[in-house]
Structure 1
Amino acid sequence: MTTEPSAYHRRVAEEKRNAILKAATRLFLDSGYAGASLAKIADAAGVSKATLFKQFPTKAALFDAIVTASWETGEDTGERPPVGDLDAGLATIGRRYVALLTRPGMADLFRIVIAELPRFPELGETQFNRGKMPYFESVRGYLETERDAGTITLDDPDLAATQFLGMISNYVFWPRMLLQDWAPDEAAMDRVVDEAVLVMRARYAR
């Protein structure tokens, strides 16, 4: 007969998991994916190797968890906007995307993937399949519901989602990968979202 862990033990396990994810992200960035061993990560997180292996039996599983956690929007912010008001819906999605891309550590995560891609191509696949694609699919799904409701004319949902997200990330995120002092203020990022919404309305609204 098995018993469920108590609330205390669940809280302790979650705290240790978060400590492991934080330590692993920092070590991956400082030492590279290859140079950050699970033993070093356990030491940096202040947990035993047995505790780390219980939660993450391989380095790949640990990196997968980091990517998934980094792209999660949370239940309170990740719900699809109501259908029928394209401007409001796209503005909501656009601002969520800005908040996601400017999270602490998001640029660092991309740098890890890019730096290690020649030796570990699976890192790129993880970032794409576990991170970017689920978010992309949620945006595409929203556009499809607007199309089905008759508010927009849409032949290629994939292209439309790429256009919208690309207009935002090209200003908010990608310069950060090369320019250390790139930090546009909130007003500038809001304007980018608003302009992207206007372009989408001009192109797709009925």
Structure 2
Amino acid sequence: MTAQPSEYHRRVAAQKRTSIIEAATEMFLDSGYDGTSLARIAEAAGVSRATLFKRFATKAALFEAIVTEYWKVGEEEAPVPEPGNLRAGLEAIGRRYAALLSQPGMAALFRIVIAEVPRFPELGETQFRLGKMPYFESVRRYLEAENAAGTARLDDAETAATQFLGMISNFVFWPRMLLARWEPDDSAIADAVDQAVLTMLARYGAPEPGGA
């Protein structure tokens, strides 16, 4: 029988994985995807080459892990809202999306992709397939559920999800790609989310029963 790893060993393994991902992100940004080797990443992360290669046999596999890590949303911590209250659901989703885009490293991840995608188009495909698309799909499904519950009126949930996330990212994230000092404070981000929610409610919210 194979012994199960202890809590200590699981914690050490998680710490090593975090160190590898952080080192890889920094080195990809500094030296480019093509100019960074797994051996150099192992050295920067403070792990052996054997440890790194055991977890990530290729740079592509490591990049996929980075994308998944940055876009990860713990369902236990931030579940998709239940339909029935469009305002509350959009507020929860909007705050979560703003936090995702504002986390350290997200802009760096996009810069890596933008810089390298002409030579390595698979990086863009990975970012879209493992990062943005799963999150987008969760929002689309939520809007469809609100539509089915009668709390939203929309013909195209995909368009509505694009509009909502776009309103938030256009303030919270995309200026950061060009403006080195773009760091809106928490109140400005909260206001951007609130305005996006109000716009969605005005466009797609179902009238209250008995309302005009």
TM-score range, shorter chain: over 0.9
Check whether the contact 1:77–1:96 (CA below 8 A) recurs between aligned residues. Answer: no
> TM-score with structure 2 length normalisation?
0.94
> TM-score with structure 1 length normalisation?
0.97
Check whether the contact 1:98–1:168 (CA below 8 A) recurs between aligned residues. Answer: yes
Deviation at 1:57, TM superposition (A): 0.6
Query: Match of 1:149, as an amino acid?
Result: A
Task: Kindly report which structure 2 residues correspond to 1:1-206, keeping only aligned pairs within 5 A, or say none.
Answer: 1-206=1-206
Q: What is the distance in 2 between the residues matched to 1:184 and 1:193?
A: 12
Q: What is the distance in 2 between the residues matched to 1:3 and 1:76?
A: 28
Deviation at 1:149, TM superposition (A): 0.4
Write the deviation string for residues 32-77 of structure 1: whole angstroms up to 9, x where unpaired. Answer: 0011100000001111111100000110000000000000122343
Larger mean Cα displacement after TM superposition, 114-123 or 184-193: 184-193
Gaps of 5+ in 1: none
Query: Match of 1:130, as an amino acid?
Result: L
Write the deviation string for residues 115-134 of structure 1: whole angstroms up to 9, x where unpaired. Answer: 00101000000000000011
Query: Match of 1:145, as an amino acid?
Result: A
Q: How large is the RMSD of aligned CA atoms in angstroms?
A: 1.0
Q: What is the distance in 2 between the residues matched to 1:30 and 1:150?
A: 50
Give % identity: 68
Secondary structure of the equivalent of 2:32? helix
Would you identify which runs of 4 or more consecutive aligned residues in structure 1 move more than 3 Å?
none
Q: What is the distance in 2 between the residues matched to 1:174 and 1:114?
A: 13
Q: What is the distance in 1 between the residues matched to 2:118 and 2:77?
A: 35
Check whether the contact 1:21–1:62 (CA below 8 A) recurs between aligned residues. Answer: yes
Q: Between Structure 1 and Structure 2, how many residues are aligned?
A: 206
Check whether the contact 1:139–1:161 (CA below 8 A) recurs between aligned residues. Answer: yes
Query: Match of 2:174, as an amino acid?
Result: W
Deviation at 1:103, TM superposition (A): 0.1
Write the deviation string for residues 90-139 of structure 1: whole angstroms up to 9, x where unpaired. Answer: 01110111111000000000000000010100000000000001110111
Check whether the contact 1:84–1:149 (CA below 8 A) recurs between aligned residues. Answer: yes
Gaps of 5+ in 2: 207-212
Secondary structure of the equivalent of 1:79? coil
Query: Match of 1:169, as an amino acid?
Result: S
